[in-house]
Every structure is written in C-alpha cells, then in structure tokens.
Structure 1
Amino acid sequence: MIIEPKVRGFICTTAHPTGCRVNVANQIAYAKVQQKKLSSHSAISPKKALIIGSSTGYGLATRISLAYTYQASTIGVMYEKEASGNRTATAGWYNTAAFESFAANDGLYAQTINGDAFSREIKDETIAKIKRDLGKVDMVIYSLAAPRRTMADGTVFSSVLKATTDTFVSKSLDLRHNTIEEASIPTATEEEIESTIKVMGGEDWAEWIDALVAADAIEGNAITVAYSYIGPELTYPIYKEGTIGHAKEHLHKTANLITKEYQQRGIHAYISVNKALVTQASAAIPVVPLYISLLYKVQKELGTHEGCIEQINRMFTEKLLIEKPDVDKNGYLRLDDYELDSKVQEQINATWDKVTTDNLKDLADIDGYWDDFYTMFGFKLSGVNYTEEVDTAMSIPSISSTSL
C-alpha cells in the first residue's frame, strides 16, 4: 500500500517502514563516525547493555550509539504494535525491525522484548534473556515514556500534564493549525500529582535495578542512567513546577537511592538532563512545542543544535564514559548546557512576547519542528519514494508475532 502521514493532534497514526529504516540508517552512520573518533584508551566501554524504552527518540539513539560507537550487545524493551490489516505498525516497531536487521548484518547482538516494561512479567522475561544470552549487563538505560502504569493488583495510574500552583496561562502552538493560541493549564489535585509520580517517577527504575541485582543479572560497577528534562524558567510552571516536574524530582532522588543502596556493588545511577527536542512525549505538552520551535531557530543560527543521536553520543563520549564523569553539583549529566546558555535563552525570551501567528514562520523554526515530527514516523526523509507501494508487514526476528 501507499502510506501517507495521518496526523491527529500531536500524534501521527501511520508510520512508513522504509522511512523509519532510513532514519535508523542515518543515525547508525553518525554513530560509526563517532566510533572512529574514540580514544583507544577510553575509560569505560560498555559491552552488554539493557535499554528500557528502546524504540524511539532518546532510547533508540542510545541503543544505536551503544551498538555502533561502542560495539555493545543490546537488549531493548519496548511496547509497540505490529501492522494489522490496513493499519501500519507503529514507528517504534519499524525502527526496531530496521535496527535488528542492520545489527545482524554487522555481527552485533541485538534482541528485543515487546511488552509492558512496568510489569513483573516483562522484567522476568528480560532477565531470563540476559542470563541466557549475556550473563549480566554492565549498563542499564531507563528511557521510558508512558501515559499510564498498571500495577500488579490491576490498579491503573495515569499521568497528567498540569500545573501544581495556580492555573497557568501562556502562549502555545496549536499543532492542528500552526497558530499561536492561549493555553490554560489547570491545577492538578494531589491525587493527580501522585499518579503522575507513579508513572513518570523513579519507582519502576528502582524496581528494574532491584530485580536485576536479585537475579544476579547485572555486573558490579555497572552504570545506570535515567533521562530527564528541566528546561528554562519560561516553561517552569508547566514542566519543572508542574506534575511532570514533581515526577522528575522523584526520578532524580531515585538515582541517589540506587547509588547508595548498591554502593558496595559499585553500581552508580546517573540522571542525564537532556535538551528539549521533538518527541512523541514533548509534542503532547502545552507551551513546549512553541518553545522548541523558538529554540531550534536560535540554536541552528548559533550552530549548537543537536538531535537525539548527537545528544546521546555527546553524553557517552564527553560526559559519562570518561575517567571522571562530567556532572554538575547535583551529580547530573547536563546535556541541556547548550540549550540553557544565556545567549540562547535571552534571544528566546525576547522573541516570546513578539511571536504571533502572522510572524511565526519568521521568528520560529516551525518547518524544522514539523520536519522532526514527521521524521519520527518515517516521513519526509530524503531518498525515500513515498509514492511507491510498500509492504506494511515487517517482522522483528527476536520477537514472536503476537499483536498487542
């Protein structure tokens, strides 16, 4: 069938298998170049990695970077859907199929578990695969972004995107019409705050590490990293001080708890504070898409713009996998350093009050925003003929064919 993008709100309901493959290939090419730049005496070189949330965005870039910059064996955990009838598979499914194909051709071990990473069942299945194939992992990346979490007793917690003080009113980008609107974000209840923490906080990350340690499936001196975001003062009310911010604060505290609990084993947990980018998660947050469009404009002009693969490779090669990790006073790896540079933020703040629907294209990189959005789903990539018929069915060798 001929696949076209079908956008509904902040999500695209179709994905293009060929485009996703090209997207993965482009990131692999970048990671290979970085591998050639690595010093022969790199302090740390992970060899067996588990990536929880491995199929899109930062998680996918992490898997690619570890495999192709460090030649690591990787096990990924994702929650994606394969094609069914006239419905395409999700982008994450096609990304993973492409990655496993490339990895196999290049002699790299790559296996994937598909299911709810919050569940004990998936933890047990993943650990069994680790012990059977790798023995133990020496790196665990937690890059999970999910809207809800189902507990063992059936209780469901859902995350919400709300303020926690007063109702927050600000400019926002209406992605349906590319217009500047006023967004009003209501105040969350205590129950909603706690529910968001349950989904997006650090509890599940800690449970993964506890399970790996209990099963003797993680090396002593292993490194684990969870991805986070803080952002500038402009977005504090909806992000840092909002429900998401409360969850991220819990995530940050969890890093310290993991490190302290497993100090004798040498396991160290880090938080990587990354840059704002177009992801399936960030597209859903009011105010943030407009901020990202302005950020892209400024950083591209200054030459400091990075995508997921550039960010993650810089995290590994310049911040984490060096003799002494480059962390701030809180122990965080700061990959948002270019974003929060005073020159960048001053220009964004000056533009924020001026931007309207009429001058949006002049003041913001709205085209760049949409290019990244469509790229996530395999569209608008050069070298792909989108008028050609393609087969939507694509298997992932390491996953049995069971629709979720």
Structure 2
Amino acid sequence: MTDRVIDRPRSRGFLFLDSHPAGCRQLVNDMWEAVTAPTAPPPADGPVALVIGSSAGYGLAATLAGLKRAGIRGIGVCFEKPASARRTATAGWYRTAATAELARGAGRDVVFLNGDAFSDGLKDRVAEVLAERFGGRLDYLIYSVAAPRRTDPETGTTYASVLRPIGAASRTRTLAFDDAGAPEVKEVQTEPAAGDDLAQTVAVMGGADWERWIEQLAGRGLLADGFATAALSYIGSSLTEAIYRKGTIGAAKAHLEATARTLDKRLSELVGGRAVTSVNGAAVTQSSTAIPGIALYVGLLRGVLGARLVPPTAQLSDLWDQLTGVRPLALDEEGRIRLDTWELTDEVQAAVGERWRAATTENIGQLADLDWFHGEVHRLYGFAVPGVDYAAPVATEAPWPGQSA
C-alpha cells in the first residue's frame, strides 16, 4: 500500500492528472447526505437497477439517488483505472469504492463492474450477474455514457466523437484559468465538421449502444414486467447551441432521443415497459468542461442563480421519483422528461445572456461565481473538498469493490 501526500493537483487546463482518494470519498459522502431520504424507508428487496456510467457526473448522482431514495439494488458499470507507480487511480475508481461502502451501509446489494460498456463482453458479464445474483430480473436501466471512442462489437470498427459545429465554423466565448487560477475570458474558433465527423460522433454518442444493451438483455429474458429505461441527455442554452445542440454532439443527442421513441414502442409491446430520455440541467462534470463555452456559461449561470442552481443529486432524485411512480412522469411534447426547466426560463436565460455579452477578463469575477466553478472542477478529482486534510498522507492503492486488497 502506497501512502502519499497529494496536497495539490497536477493539471492541464480542466484535465487533472491525479485525484485525491480521501477527497473523492468525502465528495461522495457529501452527495449522499444531499439526497433527501424518502418519507417511508424503501423495502429491503428494492428494485433491481443497472446504471451504465455509474462513477461520474449524472451517472454517479443517479446511483446515489437511486440507492437512498428508491432503495435500488443491482449493478453499476464504469470504466476506471487503478493506481500505478506514477499516478493515483482515476477519481471514478475512488468514487466507486466510496459508493460501494455507502451501499453496504444502507443494506443494498450492489455489484460494480469495471470495463468497456460498449463491448459485448461486459454486457455478457452483466447478464450473468443479473441471472445469478438478482433472480434474472431487471427493473430499471439508466444510461449515462460520455466517451471519446466506441468500437462496434459486430464490425470491430472504432469510431471517434468530435465537438464541432455543423455547416460553418463557430466562434464562441469561453473561460480558462492559468496555472495560478487566474481567469481569462477569450474567444475560440471551432472549425466545422468535415468528412464523416457527424456519423462518427453519432455512432459513439447516439443511441446505438443503449439499444444494444436493451436488445441483449431482452434477448436473455432479463427485463421485468414494467421495465423502464432512461438515457440522460442535455439541451442547454442558445448561447452554447452552435457547438452543442446544433453541433455534432447535438446530432448524437437527437439520435438518442429518436432511439428512445423506438425503444419505448418496443418495450411497451414486450413487457409493458417504457423508454425515455431525461434532459438534465447544466452541471460541472468531467465531460462538460471539455466543451468550448460551457465553462463560461455554467459560471455565469451560477452567478445568476446562486444556490437556486439545482445539483445533479436533486435532479436525479426527481427522475427516480418519476420512474418509480412516486409522482407521474412529466413528459414534454417529444416524450422527454425535463429536469432542466429551472435553467431555461426566459428570465434566467436573459440574465445569463446579458452577462455573457458583457463578460471580460477584467469583470468576470463580478459576473460569474468563479470560486464555486473553480472549486467544482477541483472537486471532480477530490480536491478542494471541505473537511479533508490535504497535508496528510493518503493511501493511493485501493481494491475494486468486491475484490481483495
């Protein structure tokens, strides 16, 4: 077991090269405490759920909210790396270990599987665990996957997703921080998609893999009567739409939503089930910080809303309440659950837009909540978490949940 003092992160922009085990654990515990417990305790034999992408962002929030609010059992799937001689484990590795501890403490049987969610091999492993450990039944599937590449298990072709506008280059404002943490507002230009960029991005981030999960589990007879599945999505503001919703990633999200409509019809006929997309509100995640303009937008959004900005755990608690029937599904005209209405009101968007146009490097500290945003980025990797002693040595090696040290 290797103990190290990790008092400050090594980073390249918003990409951190190390994570802090104790900080990641405390962050997960804080997220758990933020989830409101249900009025009545969930039954011990709660619904069986599969969360694909359970270690980060909205997938982590879905796992924690599902455990505490809906009393789920089941499987979490993610793709994380252990510690090495040169680096700590990925933040998601430590977050998964902390989530497993909370699940055990709550008396919930949850298995965490580490591997490529796009592969048929991992799908087979999930099916085996469902059959052997959970009575061969699955009640819910949450799909929350953001990845740069996907290999098609049938053809062996590897596709790569890109963040590009469609049709013309896009200039947008964005927020960056230097090594000392000083902010800079600048403009960046992103060239338009070319060649097969659009098709490749849809192949990675669209609904193909979600549909394959459902097909394979259904083919093995593992879907319970009334089975429901939700894929997590985002629409966002007109301020970021050129690079996001109207760009290559937006096309992939449109494909995901079209897949939901296809799956909804199929599941209704097969098991009386449902398939929906859940459109979530803005948040600071490892995926979102890579998108030009999103950092500036989210910082300004927090500046406008303050504590009224709805965190992922609260949004996913709402999703579980709707999926489990605590309250009815609230669908828009496209059949999507909308958890982003607090973000997209005319009043909020007008206020953010005004700040967006006025923002400069000199005044950004008055317009955006930079301390919050900078802290949120660090907390993704277990840094800047209140209550953690970063001067103390910490063990960087940790076994995967269910495995011996």
- Name the TM tier (shorter chain): over 0.9
Q: Which amino acid aligns with 1:170?
A: T
| More displaced 10-residue stretch of structure 1: 126-135 or 204-213 | 126-135
Q: Does 1:306 align with 2:310?
A: yes
Q: Taking structure 1 as reference, are residues 96 and 39 closer, same or farther at Cα in structure 2, changes over 3 Å only? A: closer
Residues 227 and 114 (structure 1), Cα distance of their counterparts in 2 relative to 1, 3 Å cut: same
TM-score by length of 2: 0.93
Match of 1:186 among 186, 191, 216: 191
Asked whether the 8 Å contact 1:67–1:74 carries over to 2, the reply is: no
- Report what 2:9 is aligned to: 5
Aligned to 2:255: 250
1:203-352 → structure 2 map (5 Å cutoff): 203-264=208-269, 265-300=271-306, 303-317=307-321, 321-352=325-356
| Displacement of 1:288 | 1.0
Q: Secondary structure at the match of 1:235?
A: coil
CA distance in 1, matches of 2:393, 2:23: 13
- Tell me the equivalent position of 1:197: 202
* Conservation of the 8 A alpha-carbon contact between 1:112 and 1:399: no
What's the counterpart of residue 78 of structure 1?
A: 78
Give 1:236 shift: 1.2
Instruction: Tell me if the contact between 2:321 and 2:327 (Cα under 8 Å) persists in the aligned partners.
Output: no
Equivalent position of 2:149 in the other structure: 148
Could you tell me which amino acid in structure 1 is paired with residue 98 of structure 2? A
Q: Secondary structure at the match of 1:353?
A: helix
Partners of 1:74 and 1:240 lie apart in 2 by: 33
Does the alignment pair 1:371 with 2:372?
no
Q: Which residues in structure 2 correspond to 1:88-103 (within 5 Å)?
A: 88-103=88-103
Per-residue CA deviation, residues 45-100 of structure 1 (Å, 9 max, x unaligned), is: 96110000000111111111111112110300100001111310001000001111
Residue number among 14, 20, 31 corresponding to 1:16 in the alignment: 20
Q: Deviation digits for residues 266-322 of structure 1, max 9, x if unmatched?
A: 12101110111110110000011101110111111xx42122112111222368634
Distance in 2 (alpha carbons) for counterparts of 1:164 and 1:400? 49
Mapped to 2, the partners of 1:255 and 1:243 lie a distance apart of 19
Alignment-mate amino acid for residue 225 of structure 2? G
Is contact 2:202–2:255 with CA below 8 Å preserved after alignment?
yes
Q: Name the aligned partner's letter for residue 337 of structure 2.
A: L
Q: Measure, in 2, the Cα distance between the counterparts of 1:318 and 1:397.
A: 30
Question: Secondary structure of the equivalent of 1:35?
Answer: coil
Uncovered stretches (5+) of structure 1, i.e. residues with no partner:
none
Provide the rounded CA distance (Å) in 2 between the counterparts of 1:46 and 1:228: 26
What 5-or-longer segments of structure 2 have no aligned partner?
Answer: none
The residue identity in structure 2 corresponding to 1:165 is G
Partner Cα separation in structure 2 for residue 323 and residue 393 of structure 1: 42
Structure-1 separation of matches of 2:46 and 2:195: 41
CA–CA separation in structure 1 for the residues paired with 2:109 and 2:46: 13
The 5-angstrom pairing of residues 387-398 of structure 1 reads 387-398=391-402
Work out the CA distance in 1 between the residues paired with 2:225 and 2:403. Answer: 29
Q: Is the 1:227–1:273 Cα contact (8 Å) retained in structure 2?
A: yes
- The equivalent residue for 1:161 is 163
**Separation (CA, whole Å) in 2 of partners of 1:184 and 1:386:** 38
Query: Could you tell me which residue of structure 2 aligns to residue 133 of structure 1?
Result: 133
Taking structure 1 as reference, are residues 220 and 175 closer, same or farther at Cα in structure 2, changes over 3 Å only? farther
**8 A Cα contact 1:130 1:217, kept in partner:** yes
CA deviation after TM superposition for structure 1 residue 105, in Å: 2.8
Q: Which residue of 2 aligns with 1:121?
A: 121
The more displaced of 273-282 and 321-330 is: 321-330
- CA change 1:376–1:298 in 2 (3 A) is same
Q: Distance in 2 between matches of 1:400 and 1:194?
A: 43
User: Which amino acid in the other structure matches residue 142 of structure 1?
Assistant: Y
- Maintained 8 Å contact 1:48/1:138: yes
Q: CA deviation at 1:104?
A: 1.7
Give me the whole-angstrom Cα distance separating, in 1, the residues matched to 2:403 and 2:206.
28
Cα RMSD between the aligned structures?
1.8
Partner-residue secondary structure (3-state), 2:74: strand
C-alpha contact 1:225 1:271 (8 A) present in aligned 2: yes
